[in-house]
Amino acid sequence: MRHTLRILAKSPGFSLVAILALALGIGANTALFSVTDAVFLRPLPFAQPAQLVRLASTDALHGFDRAPFSLPRFEAVRENQQVFRDLACGIFTAFTLTGRGDPVQVQGFMASQDYLPTLGLQPLFGRNFSAAEDRPGGAPVVLVSYNFWRQTLHADPAALGQSLTIDGQPHTVIGILPPALSSIPFNQVELWTPRPAEVPFLQPSQLEGGGFFFQVIARLKPGVSLAQAQENMNVIAAAYRAAHPSNSDAPSHLDAIPLLDDLVGDQRSTYALLFGAVGCVLLIACANVANLLLARFSARRKELALRLALGATRGHIVRQLLLESTVVALLGGALGVLLARWGVDAFVRLGQNFIPRSQEISVHLPALLFTLALALLTGIGMGLFPALHAARTPSGDALKDAGRGSSGGPAQGRLRSALLVAEIALSLVLLIAASLLLTSFSRLQRVSPGFDPDHVFIGFVNLPPAKYPNATALSNFYLHLQQRLAVLPGAKAVALADSPPLSGNSGPAPIAVVGHPVPPLSERPNALRHLVTPNSFATLRIPLLRGRDFNERDLPGSPETVIINEAFARQFFPGEDPLGRKIITGMAQKTAEIVGVVGDTHTLDLTTPPRAEYFLPALQRGETFTSILVRTEGDPAGFAASVRAALHEVDADQPLIGGQPFAQLIARTFAARRLVMLLLGAFAGLALILAGLGVYSVMAYVVTQRTNEIGIRMALGATPGGVQRLVLKQGLRLVALGVCLGLSGALLLTQFMAKVLFAVQAADPLIYAAAAAFLAVVAALACYFPARRATRVDPLIALRAE
């Protein structure tokens, strides 16, 4: 080891380049392993998490995939299931907390009494809900999250028994939840209350008609497999379909999904893509360092021959050279850990709003063990063949050739060429993948959403149902709020809407057309449902194509009206004028007359084509949740204070949720794609730099080894241009082979990217050609400078050296 460290210290240039190259590759792999371990591999912080499943509803015909449960279906499962030890349901909501300074909106969860026991948890302090508290009319009690207890209640040991005013009603704190419930999917939840069936924002028709609203979890009985649970759910689903044929969820299938799989969703393919990319970067770095080792060991042939002549065995030589490569890799791994920590911190900051379990991501012991194993494998893998080759060289030949300079023989030359070709091929695969994502992202950003979010402020309001118990009270609040907002300085247009496009709040509801056969609720098609006030379309600059907008006469008690979009008209009124026609909307099944048609928007996301949507007047059918939309004359970023003041003038106890430019909110819909594109682009750029350096180093070494030959050629009359072409030809032949292999590999591997691409084919010939041309130019430049240096060889000096 001492000898190894002395050898590395004598060649600081080689050591530094090799360690940095490996640090980049190992650090990137360690960082991504840390993310993957936290998201996919680490067990959930619940008791026996492998037994936990979420029950979901899937109806491909109506576009529901892993949707929540309805209350009637939950009751059917609870009464008939034979495979679960525990079963519980809950629903996410929002609460207005008052009495502690300014009113604030907090995330809430209404859970049945058995929710905590199903997770295998108990309150850290205090107790769980009792059976009496979970029945209709039970006492108003609340469990608070660990973070809420620490931050809002200041970790007060006397917090139990205190009163919190939630939605205007006092609730007694009966327990502090454990830190485990501060992780996904409850990381935003601060208050838990019982009786989920009493959720205030749902109407009886929605609860009883099979609406998809409730989160249902279950714990498998010991010895029961997931397949057995799924068979039991299939039987229950068929029985439910027969018993409740008119419920909207009757056609849907019942899925039992492992809880961890449900939380991480379909992100495994994306992380597999990124892991493949960082693996390529490490392989390219290893190829570079292996080429450097080949050159280094070749230059030390005389030293190794002397060792053999003095009695060293070939095993001693191989172990010594492997130790050198392994020490380099371990030093690279140590530096890579530091890079990984910085990378993980940046990754978490960029993806904290959409990466599952982002709070749990860190470089911890499993990641350090992974780094150690990776560094050892890297050191042995990249050093083994060069060491074996160096140890096989006959000592007599090495001593005779040592003074002349040698390339190390044909085998070593073939290995260097093979490593260079592999670098080029891997770099091209990464470059093509990054180019596909960049093109996809660019085309996605050019998609017109169908409305204009620029210079629009958006904030949200969630009214307490106890204070606004009916449509008339809600209508009065919305009308007064809109009138007050309209006179704010700098406000050009104002509206309220429960689910603006691309806000993430839109949901489907069943519809039927009057005049056509009206199927049961479970067989009706769905359309996206919205509640908007007058001037909503003008505020977002959605064109009104026919008919009229809502007005202040569309109030409770007046004739029911509805506005549809073009996609709705095409689907349900092909070749007809929809104005004046009537449709039956939602689970409440109210009949409304179509009074207008507006342009289509990309409401769910920019990758999903516009679909059928209908808009109801919020002043007529008001609900407790809405958003405030204000088109401003200037930058909407500083408009939150004015909107909050106007809101408090209408209701002093009502907080403003969020408050930001609408364009900024929409930008979050690109966040996941942008992060993947940035990471893959960074890996591709790194691979391109390493490949360029690899080409340069190999060609520079070739020129050094062929100095005598070049001198003889020039002494015999070869021109500098001819020598330059000779060297370039050798390098470009290897580059061309690497490009061909890279194109073939990209054709195979990029097919797995189809799910993350938008408006671009995985085998787009222009992108492939452009990436190949760009890489070829970089590689040609890397060949050019050593070739140019070859033309400056002095024949006399070269011949004298020979």
Q: How far is CA 487 from CA 484, 492, 644, in A?
A: 6, 9, 14
Is pLDDT above 90 for 785?
no
Q: What is the mean pLDDT of residues 624-638?
A: 93
CA-CA distance, 289 to 326, in Å (whole number)?
Answer: 11
Q: Which of 174-183, 623-632, 662-671 has the lowest mean pLDDT?
A: 662-671
Cα-to-chain-centroid distance, residue 433: 17
Q: Based on the number of CB atoms within 10 Å of its own CB, is 635 exposed (0-12), middle (13-18) or buried (19 or more)?
A: exposed
pLDDT, greater one: 257 or 416: 257
pLDDT band at 397 (very low <50, low <70, confident <90, very high): low
Reduced DSSP (H G I as helix, E B as strand, rest coil) percent helix, strand, coil of the chain, to 5: 55, 20, 30
Per-residue pLDDT band at 348 (split at 50, 70, 90): confident
pTM of the predicted model, to two decimals? 0.83
Which pLDDT score is estimated for 405? 46
Helix (H) or strand (E) holding 281: helix 268-299
Between strands 491-497 and 625-632, the pairing is antiparallel
pLDDT of residue 562: 97
**89 C-beta neighbours (distance < 10 Å), count:** 27
pLDDT reading at 418 higher than 70? yes
> What does the pLDDT average to over 416-426?
88
Token pair, residue 320, equals 């010594």
233's tokens: 């759910």
Q: Is 296 a residue whose pLDDT tops 80?
A: no
SS3 call for 210: coil
pLDDT for residue 223:
94
If you average pLDDT over every residue of the chain, what do you get?
Answer: 89
Whole-angstrom distance, CA of residue 510 vs CA of residue 528: 9
pLDDT, position 788: 82
Predicted pLDDT of residue 326 = 92
- The per-residue pLDDT for 545 is 97
Quote the percentage of the chain above a pLDDT of 70. 94
- What span, in angstroms and rounded, lies between the C-alpha atoms of 419 and 595? 70
**CA 405 – CA 231 distance, rounded (Å):** 74
CA–CA distance, 182 with 42 (Å, rounded to integer): 16
Asked whether the predicted pLDDT for residue 583 surpasses 60, the reply is yes
Are 264 and 270 a contacting pair, CB within 8 Å?
no
- Mean predicted confidence (pLDDT) in 741-764: 89
The pLDDT tens digits of the residues spanning 189-241 come to 999 999 999 988 888 888 888 889 999 999 999 999 999 999 999 999 999 99
Location of structure tokens 């309150």: 123
Q: pLDDT at position 9, please?
A: 87
Res 795: pLDDT = 67
What tens digit of pLDDT does each residue of 632-671 get? 999 999 899 999 999 999 999 899 998 999 999 998 888 8
Task: Choose the weakest-confidence range: 127-141, 149-163, 532-546, 725-739.
Answer: 725-739
Confidence of residue 782 (pLDDT cuts 50, 70, 90): confident
Residue 403 has pLDDT above 50, yes or no: no
Q: What is the mean pLDDT of residues 481-498?
A: 96
- Quick check: 692 pLDDT over 50? yes
CA-nearest of 223, 217, 224 to 121 is 217
pLDDT at 319: 85
Check pLDDT > 70 for residue 282.
Answer: yes
- Whether the CB-CB separation of 24 and 686 falls below 8 Å is answered with yes
User: How many other CB atoms are there within 10 angstroms of residue 63's CB atom?
Assistant: 12
Checking if the pLDDT of 406 tops 50, the result is no
Q: State the Cα–Cα distance between residues 175 and 128, nearest whole angstrom.
A: 7
**Mean pLDDT confidence for 733-754:** 91
Hey, what's the torsion of the CAs at 14, 16, 17, 23, to 10 degrees?
Answer: 140
Quote the pLDDT of residue 379. Answer: 87
- What is the percentage of the chain residues whose pLDDT exceeds 90? 55
Length of the chain (residues): 802
